[in-house]
A and B are shown apart, each in its own frame.
Chain A
Amino acid sequence: MTSSVSIKNLSLDFGAVSVLKTLNLDIEDGEFLVLLGSSGCGKSTLLNCIAGLLEPTAGQIFIKGRNVTWEEPKDRGIGMVFQSYALYPQMTVEKNLSFGLKIAGMDRSEIERRVARAAGILQIEPLLKRKPAELSGGQRQRVAIGRALVRDVDVFLFDEPLSNLDAKLRAELRVELKRLHQSLKNTMIYVTHDQIEALTLADRIAIMKNGVIQQLDAPDVIYNAPRNLFVAGFIGSPSMNFLKGTLVADPGGIAFETNGARFSLAGYRTPATLDAGRPVLLGLRPEHIRVNEEGGAVSHEAIVDIEEPMGADNLLWLKHAGHTLSVRVNGARRFSPGTAVRLSFDMAMASLFDAASEERL
Chain B
Amino acid sequence: MADTLRIEGAVTPEGPHGRKPRRALSRRNIMIYGVLLLAAFYYILPLYVMVVTSLKGMPEIRLGNIFSPPVEITFEPWVKAWSEACTGLNCDGLSRGFWNSVLITVPSVLISIAVASINGYALANWRFKGSDVFFTILIVGAFIPYQVMLYPMVIILRELGIYGTLAGLIVVHTVFGMPILTLLFRNYFTSLPEELFKAARVDGAGFWGIYLHIMLPMAVPIMVVAMILQVTGIWNDFLFGVVFTRPDYYPMTVQLNNIVNSVQGVKEYNVNMAATILTGAVPLAVYFFSGRYFVRGIAAGAVKG
Contact (A100, B193) CB under 8 Å given A80-B199, A88-B214: no
Partner of A103, one of B193, B195, B199, B204: B204
For A88-124 the 0/1 string (1 means CB < 8 A from B) is 1110000000011001100000000000000000000
Find chain B residues with CB under 8 A from A80 CB.
198-199, 202
CB <8 Å contact, B218 and A90: yes
Find chain A residues with CB under 8 A from B217 CB.
90
Contact (A86, B199) CB under 8 Å given A99-B213, A103-B209: yes
Find chain B residues with CB under 8 A from A51 CB.
198, 202
Q: Which of A3-11, A71-79, A185-193, A303-311 contacts B (4 or more CB under 8 A)?
A: A71-79
Most buried by A among B193, B202, B205, B218: B202
Residue of A with least CB distance to B209: A103
Partner of A86, one of B193, B209, B213, B218: B193
Residue of A with least CB distance to B199: A86
Nearest CB of B to A35, in Å: 17
Partner of B218, one of A52, A89, A99, A159: A89
Contact (A73, B202) CB under 8 Å given A89-B218, A103-B209: yes
Find chain A residues with CB under 8 A from B213 CB.
88, 99
Nearest CB of B to A101, in Å: 8
> Residue A58 at the B interface, CB < 8 A?
no
- Complex CA gap A88/B58 in Å reads 62
Contact (A99, B203) CB under 8 Å given A53-B198, A89-B218, A90-B218: yes
> Residue B267 at the A interface, CB < 8 A?
no
> Residue B304 at the A interface, CB < 8 A?
no
> Residue A328 at the B interface, CB < 8 A?
no
CB <8 Å contact, B195 and A84: yes
Most buried by B among A79, A84, A103: A103
Find chain A residues with CB under 8 A from B201 CB.
52-53, 72-74
Residue of B with least CB distance to A100: B203
Q: How many residues from A make CB contacts under 8 Å with B?
A: 25
CB <8 Å contact, B204 and A104: yes
> Residue A314 at the B interface, CB < 8 A?
no
CB <8 Å contact, A100 and B202: yes
CB <8 Å contact, A82 and B200: no
> Residue B73 at the A interface, CB < 8 A?
no
Nearest CB of B to A80, in Å: 5
Find chain A residues with CB under 8 A from B205 CB.
99-100, 103
Residue of A with least CB distance to B217: A90
- Residues 94-134 (chain B) with a chain A CB within 8 angstroms: none
> Residue A360 at the B interface, CB < 8 A?
no
> Residue A83 at the B interface, CB < 8 A?
yes
- Residues 190-216 (chain B) with a chain A CB within 8 angstroms: 193, 195-196, 198-205, 209, 213-214
- Complex CA gap A99/B210 in Å reads 11
For A175-219 the 0/1 string (1 means CB < 8 A from B) is 000000000000000000000000000000000000000000000
Residue of B with least CB distance to A104: B204
- Residues 56-88 (chain A) with a chain B CB within 8 angstroms: 72-74, 78-80, 82-88
Nearest CB of A to B152, in Å: 36
Find chain A residues with CB under 8 A from B196 CB.
86, 88
Nearest CB of B to A159, in Å: 8
> Residue A147 at the B interface, CB < 8 A?
yes
CB <8 Å contact, A86 and B195: yes
- Complex CA gap A51/B202 in Å reads 8
Nearest CB of A to B261, in Å: 50
Per CB-CB distance, the 10 closest pairs between chain A and chain B, nearest first, are A100-B203, A74-B204, A86-B195, A86-B199, A82-B195, A90-B217, A103-B204, A73-B202, A80-B202, A86-B196
A-B residue pairs in contact (CB < 8 Å), sample of 8: A73-B201, A74-B201, A79-B202, A82-B198, A83-B195, A90-B217, A99-B200, A103-B205
Where the two chains meet, the residues of B that have a C-beta atom closer than 8 Å to any C-beta of A are 193, 195-196, 198-205, 209, 213-214, 217-218
Where the two chains meet, the residues of A that have a C-beta atom closer than 8 Å to any C-beta of B are 48, 51-53, 72-74, 78-80, 82-90, 99-100, 103-104, 147, 159
Known: A53-B201, A88-B213, A147-B199. 9 other contacts (CB 8 A): A48-B198, A73-B201, A73-B204, A80-B199, A82-B198, A85-B195, A86-B195, A86-B199, A88-B214
